[in-house]
Amino acid sequence: MGVLDLAAYPWDAVEPYRKRAAQHPGGIVDLSVGSPIDPTPDVIRRALAEATDAHSYPLTVGSPALRDAIVDWYARRRGVPGLTPAHVLPTIGSKELVALLPTLLGLTAGDVVVHPRIAYPTYAVGATVAGATPVAADDPDEWPEGAKLIWINTPGNPDGRTWSVEELAAAVRRARELGAVLASDECYAELGWDGPWADQPVPSVLDPRVTGGSRADLLSVYSLSKQSNLAGYRAAFVAGCSDLIAGLLAARKHLGLMPPAPVQHAMAVALRDDEHVAAQKELYRRRRDVLKPAVEAAGFRIDGSEAGLYLWATEDRDAWESLQRLAELGILAGPGHFYGEHSARHVRLALTAPLDRIEQAAERLASATR
């Protein structure tokens, strides 16, 4: 199967619910897609403007300043010391890497790519495009022989599942037993809310407490889209095993996969500024503190969601029915069907709407239950 054989883009199926929600007298409150709506911080926008004299081709490997900034960021924010520029590589957003990683690793027919049971669909798409077989499994003991690439997502999209140090270490051990690459999608790591993540950083697969002293066959993927509102910049990176990074670099050079030089400069500045990240997290916290109790009071149960950008909610009915109920209130959610066969009774509610619209959604939910 190739790219032309992929199914229609699933979000098209949400359009009727969008139209119904838009008919509400107060207008639509769109909580369906996790696209940032807050401004890109000024410090980053200035950095981009300063770098617009980009007359030469950018480096696929990343500028020295960017690579150093990624290394420093892992040590400072993720508890991962000891990386060098040879362990990191910028990417054109994280979605292209997720989709292309099986191909870049040389996987083909007969190979298995494992991904979470409740998952962002691009893990399976990437496997399919490479001709490999996607398999949904969360428990490392259930990861099959023949797996060549294993994806975990912590904190998870859409369910907010967050792996502890002990769980990550067990995943590393099992992946190594199988001889598989373990890739951890960690794009929401700055957004911890409940349980241990209320006051502890979300751990990385590259954490020394996880790796057993070796980064071999481990990759950590991160994006600046959410923490820095850089979704439109396509700014992300991968870090980990230097041998894997070297192979990815060689393939990406051939394919011309390089972030633009101005974006690389802006990324370096963003990674060295923690103040805007804390401010953005506070915005999401305020929205979550309004939306979560309102959704629960309206009869939904929130599962997981201890970290990340979403509330993963169910009223124990088919997600399309819940979507219709919410659309009648002018609220648009994302159906769990998009995240695999194991999530057809959940909806995903994103925290990416202005606070006043979140408050409007909360009021509508309250009015519907009075």
Average pLDDT per block of 10 residues along the chain, 370 residues long:
60 90 96 94 97 96 98 98 98 97 96 96 96 97 96 97 98 98 98 95 98 97 97 98 98 97 98 98 98 97 97 96 97 94 95 97 89
pLDDT at 39: 97
Q: pTM for this structure?
A: 0.94
pLDDT in tens, 282-335: 999 999 999 999 999 999 999 999 999 999 999 999 999 999 999 999 999 999
Interatomic CA distance for residues 264 and 268, integer angstroms: 6
pLDDT at 145: 93
Domains, the chain, with CATH or none: 3-39+276-368 (3.90.1150.10), 57-273 (3.40.640.10)
pLDDT at 10: 72
Interatomic CA distance for residues 185 and 163, integer angstroms: 11
